[in-house]
Structure 1
Amino acid sequence: MTMLKRREILAGAAGLALFGGRAARAETARERGLRIATDASNRRGGYRDISATGEMVLRTASNQTSNRRFDASWIDAGRNDSRSLLIFRWPGDIRNTALLTHAYPTKTDDQWLFLPAMERVRRIRGSGRSGSFVGSEFAFEDMVDQEVAKFDHIWIADERCPGSGTCHVIDMIPRSPSGYSRQRVWLDTKELRLQRVQYFYRGGAHLKTLTVGKYRLYNNRFWRAGQMVMENHLTGAGTTLNWKDYVFDRGLNANAFTVNALRRIN
């Protein structure tokens, strides 16, 4: 037996030993997409509750703008139940209008909109979830964390991020009814922070693009975006969400995240 042949046999044996007697199998695009999405989701978690303040800037196709200010909070309510509450504080015509969301890993999320002028709580159901959230370019379903189990994730490529650095590009295909046929997301490879989302209609048209940036690290652990810009390519309108004053684990009460509590907002 030649020395070259002996080396080939030894190399093959070492490979079989390393991989448990089986040849290594490359990840499929779906497996890689799911792995990256799961890792990104895990990095965003690890808190009991969060509070923040923000500003919503509405821009028409003719570049006219109007501003709104809001408070927002999130809580891990246990039992695979996370909840969020967004309350508008200014101006007066929208003051105390609030969106309550109960999000679940696999089943359909629950959402309620409180309209103080009418003293009414409206539940957001079915196709209503794809409707505009208080006249903005964000749909109600955009205001919910995108749970990994509710999508098929397909890795497309690694390419330059919208700003700088390298991003994983992944297609998210909804497993349950949605106003979108798919979302194409960009996650930076270093921290797995969301950089961009393209939203596509069921007919395949590119409807909207969300650009996310101005990230800041809180508590030496949690990355949170300072700005989210949603552009509607069909209408030319846009909406910007500016975020600040994030506070983690301040001890929020889960009872504040209920439908009954909406009517007591002040």
Structure 2
Amino acid sequence: MPINPQRFPRPVTSKTLLAAPVLGPALLLLVAAGTPAQAETPEEKGLAIAEEVDRRDLGFGDSASTLKMVLTNKQGQSSTRELRIQTLEIPERSEGDKSLVVFDHPRDIEGTAFLSFTKILDPDDQWLYLPALKRVKRISSANKSGPFVGSEFAYEDLLSQEVDKYSYRWLRDEPCGEAAQGLDCFVIERFPRYENSGYTRQVTWIDQQEYRPIRIDFYDRKDSLLKTLTLRQYNQYLDQYWRADDQYMVNHQTGKTTRLTFDAWEFRVGVNERDFNPNRLKRLR
């Protein structure tokens, strides 16, 4: 059942504005230049846009959602998984957010759990619990580009997108396209600064009205177009936070796709650090 955004009060907390997550020193740039569009160089402008995306999402605290994952192969055959995700916002800019994914259906994947602690430039901490093996497996920092449980999302795609994990460059302004008709977008490049990324760069379309990512093109280590993520059906919560209820990843090299459709979002549900403990993954239900 969809959540009524009006149930929740306006946010009362916020992250520090010193640096940040998905999509770094842009606060001074924004103050000095007025808007990202007035930044002097393509690199400054790209960074300022990314900072504004992050600034608008600060202070949500924590969130929870249920969703479906539909995997489709090149021949058009599909399978569906049901899962839930929780996120805990970490206010310090020097650290990233924490997230927990638990699969509920089908039976062969039920109870599988994935826990991630996003870091900035240090290796991210990620653990995967596989019920069939009855053990928690730590994901190697060298394996972040691997597919997450057979989907077209890589492990690194599931990390919170901290601003300081990338460097940036503004490319151009243009219409957002079919995914957000009638809106204009900033188009920026971002380049991973952390080790073992599977990508040389990502090209991101961000709408100029609400600063929401609309499309992301991922380029592999040979700088060839690998995947495209399209984000649609945005809804706003707490009068501030936008979430895309339809996230569609296409792998251009294999012809496979993965679609995530979110059923509901809740904020300020009361999760805390204890809920994000690797030792608890075996006991999740």
TM-score normalised by the shorter chain: which range applies? 0.7 to 0.9
Match of 2:165 in 1: 150
Q: 1:251 to 1:155 in 2, by over 3 A?
A: same
Higher RCO, 1 or 2 (CA under 8 Å, sep at least 6)? 2
242-251 or 86-95: bigger deviation: 242-251
Counterpart CA distance in 2 for 1:175 and 1:117 is 36
SS in 1 for 2:204: strand
What CA distance in whole angstroms lies between the structure 2 residues aligned with 1:53 and 1:235? Answer: 28
1:60 aligned onto 2:73? yes
**Residue of structure 1 in register with 2:7 after alignment:** none
For residues 163-204 of structure 1, the C-alpha deviation after alignment (integer angstroms, 9 at most, x for no partner) is: 321000000111122100000000000001010000001211
Partner of 2:140: 125
Helix, strand or coil at the partner of 2:122: coil
- CA shift at 1:244, angstroms? 2.4
1:167 alignment partner in structure 2: 185
Contact 2:121–2:193 (Cα < 8 Å) also in 1: no
State whether structure 2 residue 44 is matched by structure 1 residue 31.
Answer: yes
Instruction: Work out which of the residue numbers 256, 265, 271 in structure 2 matches 1:252.
Output: 271
Alignment of 1:105-144 (within 5 A): 105-144=120-159
Q: Write out aligned runs for 1:169-248 (5 A).
A: 169-177=187-195, 178-248=197-267
2:169–2:188 CA contact under 8 A, matched in 1: yes
Deviations 1:70-90 (A, max 9, x none): 010001245534210010000
Note if contact 2:173-2:184 (Cα within 8 Å) is conserved in structure 1: yes
Alignment CA distance shift 1:159-1:113 (3 Å): same
Distance in structure 2 (CA, Å) of the matches to 1:183 and 1:105: 17
Whether contact under 8 Å (2:123, 2:141) holds in the other structure is: no
Q: CA deviation at 1:45?
A: 2.2
Verify: 1:84 aligned to 2:102, yes or no: no
Q: Which amino acid aligns with 1:32?
A: K
Larger radius of gyration: 1
1:40 Cα offset (Å): 0.1
CA deviation map 1:185-224 (0-9, x unaligned): 0000000101000000121110110011100011211110
Q: Matched residue pairs, number?
A: 243
Given residue 79 of structure 2, which amino acid in structure 1 is its aligned partner?
S
**Alpha-carbon distance in structure 2 between the residues aligned to 1:183 and 1:134:** 22
Residues 59 and 66, structure 1, Cα contact 8 Å, conserved in 2:
yes
Question: Mind listing any 5+ residue stretches in structure 2 that lack a counterpart?
Answer: 1-31, 33-37
Amino acid at match of 2:191: I
Q: Deviations over 1:21-74 (max 9, x none)?
A: xxxx96100000000001101112211110000000000000000000001000
CA distance in 2, matches of 1:45, 1:228: 21
1:60–1:233 distance in 2 versus 1, CA, 3 Å: same
How far apart, in 1, do the equivalents of 2:223 and 2:97 lie? Answer: 31
- Partner in structure 1 of residue 16 of structure 2: none
Q: 1:231-252 deviations in whole A, cap 9, x for unaligned?
A: 0011101000011211100111
Q: Secondary structure at the match of 1:225?
A: strand
Q: Identity of paired residues, percent? A: 40
- What secondary structure does 1:186 align onto? strand
**1:99 aligned partner:** 114
For 2:205, what is the secondary structure of its paired residue?
A: strand
Q: CA RMSD in A?
A: 1.5
Query: Secondary structure, in 3 states, of the residue corresponding to 2:217?
Result: strand
- Aligned in 2, Cα 1:59/1:28: closer, same or farther, shift over 3 Å? same
